[in-house]
């Protein structure tokens, strides 16, 4: 017997489901001055997050994808495939390493469809030069660094992160990763910076996990060089890190004192600017993945930041004095999140430099 109430319920449920679901109507492609554009037309306004994983761009929608237009390979040679996974993921596979310039959403209005716009460039077309990144695992050997609430030593945490970054980028075409230490050995601060300058590093990242007397303090913070610390806390931290030695200077022995001072000052200022640019990319990427300390970008006179010609940052990955931070820093999934954030920030920073002709 026909049940009209059941019919209405099914009809109403299906109608509401359709209203909430996304239909991918069309893919459009364009190219202008080495910038590729993908436009994805969809049936409604929605929310989504995007992630970059190797040669994939993953769009994670708030709503389920009900229908999706099939991708035609002939339409764009830079793209291998576009597919739907787990009902709310749209995965774009690229043929080559690429750099994403913009990913944004345009709402449905004035009779025009809602659309997602993705601008990207192929790295080989941008003459992307392989960059040398020195990852400095803080402390080591007789210098254990901070001791966590669970007994974990800072020197072990920093070395573990450094090795995982290097392993993740093994064979990478964009970056060559060099570690200041590969095992539990003691290094003077001047050795760390001197090594980075010896290999002509393009970027220096010193990894740390600090201790705070207030065990409620937690989150990631990033330091760049400043002759005057931004606050008393940063100043005290700088003094503690610098107790071993002072930084080596530039080899300008044949220049007069006045010329030497001017050259060092100019170089140092530009390097500090570049360090701050990188911090901006780091903050943007890490904020998507973890909690940041208030006033995330801080300033101190750390010796490991004083290479006058290498952009340098000191990344405090969390506080070992805080139970939650200490636990997270030993969690493999959390480590992957931090490492992914660092890598994506490096990619965007160097591409930004390439586009702005700083190198």
Q: What per-residue confidence (pLDDT) applies to 250?
A: 43
Cα 70 to its chain centre, rounded Å, is 32
Rounded (10°) angle between helices 332-356 and 154-168: 60
Q: Is the pLDDT of residue 3 over 80?
A: no
pLDDT band at 236 (very low <50, low <70, confident <90, very high): low
Ranges 195-199, 250-254, 351-355: which has the least confidence: 250-254
* CB crowding 345-354: b at 16 or more within 10 Å, else e: bbbbbbbbbb
Q: Is the pLDDT of residue 182 over 80?
A: yes
Q: What per-residue confidence (pLDDT) applies to 88?
A: 87
User: How do the domains of the chain map onto residue ranges?
Assistant: 7-126, 131-356
Distance CA 130, CA 176 (A): 7
Q: CA 347 → CA 138, 175, 257, 269, 341, distances in Å?
A: 23, 9, 38, 23, 10
Distance CA 335, CA 135 (A): 15
Q: Is the pLDDT of residue 181 over 80?
A: yes
Tell which phi-psi region holds residue 84, choosing left (phi > 0), alpha (psi between -120 and 50) or beta: beta
How large a percentage of the chain has pLDDT more than 70? 79
Overall average pLDDT of the 45-69 stretch: 85
pLDDT band at 7 (very low <50, low <70, confident <90, very high): very low
The phi, psi pair for 185, rounded to 5°, reads -125, 155
Fold annotation for 131-356:
Aminopeptidase (3.40.630)
pLDDT band at 267 (very low <50, low <70, confident <90, very high): low
Structure tokens at 196: 């980075």
Listed residue (320, 334, 249, 243) closest to 289, CA to CA? 334
- Asked if 170 contacts 144 with a C-beta cutoff of 8 angstroms, the reply is no
The CATH code of the domain at 7-126 is 2.60.40.3500
Overall average pLDDT of the 291-299 stretch: 90
3-class secondary structure for 239-303? HHHCCCCCCCCCCCCCCCHHHHHHHHHHHHHHHHHHHHHHHHHHHHHHCCCCCEEEEEEEEECCH
Q: Work out the mean pLDDT of the chain and round it to a whole number.
A: 81
Q: What per-residue confidence (pLDDT) applies to 255?
A: 46
Predicted TM-score (pTM) of the model is 0.63
- Asked if 218 contacts 355 with a C-beta cutoff of 8 angstroms, the reply is no
pLDDT in tens, 85-121: 888 899 999 988 777 777 888 888 877 888 999 888 8
């Amino acid at each position: 017997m026909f049940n009209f109430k059941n019919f209405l319920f099914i009809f109403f449920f299906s109608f509401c489901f359709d209203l909430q679901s996304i239909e991918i109507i069309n893919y459009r492609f364009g190219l202008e001055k080495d910038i590729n554009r993908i436009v994805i037309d969809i049936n409604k306004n929605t929310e989504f997050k995007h992630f970059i994983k190797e040669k994939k761009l993953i769009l994670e929608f708030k709503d389920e994808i009900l229908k999706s237009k099939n991708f035609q390979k002939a339409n764009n040679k830079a793209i291998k495939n576009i597919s739907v996974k787990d009902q709310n993921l749209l995965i774009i596979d690229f043929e080559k390493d690429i750099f994403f310039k913009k990913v944004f959403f345009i709402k449905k209005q004035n009779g025009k469809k809602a659309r997602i716009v993705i601008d990207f460039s192929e790295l080989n077309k941008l003459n992307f030069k392989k960059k040398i990144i020195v990852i400095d695992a803080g402390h080591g050997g007789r210098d254990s660094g901070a001791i966590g609430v669970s007994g974990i030593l800072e020197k072990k945490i920093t070395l573990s992160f450094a090795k995982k970054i290097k392993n993740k980028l093994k064979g990478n075409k964009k970056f060559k990763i060099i570690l200041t230490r590969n095992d539990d050995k003691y290094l003077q601060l001047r050795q760390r910076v001197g090594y980075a300058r010896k290999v002509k590093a393009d970027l220096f990242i010193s990894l740390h996990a600090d201790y705070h007397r207030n065990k409620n303090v937690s989150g990631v913070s990033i330091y760049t060089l400043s002759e005057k610390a931004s606050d008393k806390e940063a100043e005290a931290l700088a003094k503690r890190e610098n107790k071993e030695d002072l930084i080596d200077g530039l080899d300008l022995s044949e220049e007069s004192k006045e010329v030497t001072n001017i050259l060092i000052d100019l170089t140092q200022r530009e390097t500090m600017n570049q360090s701050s640019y990188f911090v901006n990319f780091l903050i943007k990427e890490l904020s998507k993945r973890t909690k940041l300390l208030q006033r995330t970008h801080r300033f101190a006179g750390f010796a490991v930041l004083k290479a006058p010609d290498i952009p340098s940052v000191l990344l405090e990955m969390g506080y070992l004095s805080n139970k939650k931070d200490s636990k997270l820093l030993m969690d493999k999934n959390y480590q992957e999140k931090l490492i992914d954030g660092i890598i994506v920030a490096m990619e965007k920073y160097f591409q930004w430099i390439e586009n702005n002709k700083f190198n």
